[in-house]
Amino acid sequence: MYDEISPLDGRYKDRLAGLGDYFSEFALMRARCEVELRYLLALDKTGLFEPLEEEERGRIGELLSSFDREDFKRIKGIEKGIGHDLKACEIFLRDALDLKNPNLVHFGLTSEDVNNLAYGLILTRYRDHAQLPQLRDLIATLLDLVERWKGIPFPARTHGQPASPTTAGKEMAVFLSRLLRQARRLERFRFAGKLNGASGNYSALLASFPDYDWEGFAGRFVSGLGLEPNRATTQVEDGDRLSEFFSIVLAIDMIVLDLDLDIWEYISRGEIVQLADPDEVGSSTMPHKVNPIRFETSEGNISVANALLQAFMTTLTRSRMQRDLSGSTIRRNIGVALAHSHLAIGETIDGLRRVEVDFEAASRALEAHPEVLTEAYQTILRAAGYEDPYELFRNATRGKDISLAALRELIDHLEVDQKIKDRLRKLDVKGYTGIAIRIAEEVATQARDWLNRRTD
């Protein structure tokens, strides 16, 4: 119980419940058997062989729906003796199905035909049943903050220095908008698959039945699994589509990391506060602390996930000639990378549900820097034809601590129309947020529409 090597199977196991359905050795073997069994049923429809008997189809269907841990153990026992996982799967199926023509099992296939399709099934199901639902949860959580915070004036910083104010909701809307773009990419994405033999030329299949349209058969079979057929390959599916998928995951992770870092900064400045859990301890020595651990845990796990994903993108898109086994061990670690990403996003969601804007602290931060209004001052004066107002306010404020009263006194001495002076004097730091509220509302509408469409 306490000898796990990976924290994914130890410390974080409870937070990743269900991912074993996609990324465990059992899940991979179950998917391989599914591909083999569905291939058997597809072969039966070609009319090239004596039809399967009803009882045989029944056994195939039963194994498709009821593959369990005992079946898995039997396959692993066979593998231990022969040293080949896919051949062990074939031997198990031949024995379990007891077909009149056992040669139908794995007919004309290479191991990679089965493996690449099995991974395609696993990853498609992970995307549909775990990854997109979690992303919808993150988007819904951010949407709630955007709607509740859209009108709260909030300090902005560029290069870490005070800048033109914004609203807290609009800042969250930026991340929401970015995530929506990637969510749309993710839901449209299709994994690729190939079923064309040892060198990608359908050679064994054509040698057996030269007049049959094996290319059309393979295309229909791969499409029937929900994958996009890849026609021109070596023995292995080239991995380009996997790399595209990883790039989407990387983009999502980097957006979440960017959000983590900003929220962490806001918390450190006191402009956003965390709601304390009365049962939690923030420090072994400092009782007062409420640490932003969820955002920090997310940050760390994204670093691990993305390092792995970037390595996968550069290794799974190449092989020595037709095939080598370097990619095999890499693919077995896809679940590790995606689990770290999944864990990170879950931590960010949990963290976002525990934060609120400290309205008073945000107001104090805004009012402490009236110099941010000089952007508006010099722009208004430019429009009025005043000579070089930028230099005027740069000399008066850059690197200096200046009050709003001092700025207004400077305005009073300007040689401009009184209406312009009045307009400048009326500017307020907390009101100088442009169309931030409208932007937040527009993004919120887009997010709500996407969420509603995905749940109809």
Active site residues: 159, 283
Instruction: Compute the Cα dihedral for 428, 432, 437, 438 and give only its sign.
Output: positive
Residue (of 423, 430, 445, 368) closest to 166 by Cα position: 430
Residues 6 or more apart whose Cβ sits within 8 Å of residue 71: 33, 63, 92, 96
Cα first-last separation, the chain:
42
Amino acid at 389: P
